Amino acid sequence: MKTLLDSSVWIEFLTNGPQAKRCTHLLEDPAALVVSPINLYEVGRYTLRTSGEDVMDEVLGNMRQCTIVPVDEAVAQSAVALAAEHGLHMADALITATARRAGAKLVSLDADLLKAGLAHQP
């Protein structure tokens, strides 16, 4: 089964946060990972702000080795329904809808996604 890592997982790993060790094994096989363009934006914005353009380019290059699933009309419609049902912010709804569209397990450290039962912990 494919896995979509929420931006929270990518950032936890990149910052060597307290739960980074729990996330490391998830990044070992890029072919098994699905990425939303929303992930690229969130992780890119974070790394540009905290580490600069060179690091951002490297990180996004690594993420591009995964399967990128575009946000299309079907993903957008699903995201609207998810946001309405679970009170999600736009990014969380789009990432969740992308995971569903790809048939991927969503892994997150985001309390809202976990509380709603939409994601799994690493």
Q: Delimit the domains of the chain by residue range.
A: 3-115
User: How confident is the model at residue 20, as a pLDDT?
Assistant: 92
Domain covering 3-115, topology? Rossmann fold (3.40.50)
Q: What is the largest CA-CA distance in the chain?
A: 39
* Residues paired with 5 in a beta bridge: 107
108 and 9 Cβ atoms separated by less than 8 Å? yes
122 and 22 Cβ atoms separated by less than 8 Å? yes
Closest CA to 8 of 104, 119, 87: 119
Q: Tens place of pLDDT for every residue, the chain, 122 residues?
A: 899 999 999 999 999 999 999 999 999 999 999 999 999 999 999 999 999 999 999 999 999 999 999 999 999 999 999 999 999 999 999 999 999 999 999 999 999 999 999 999 99
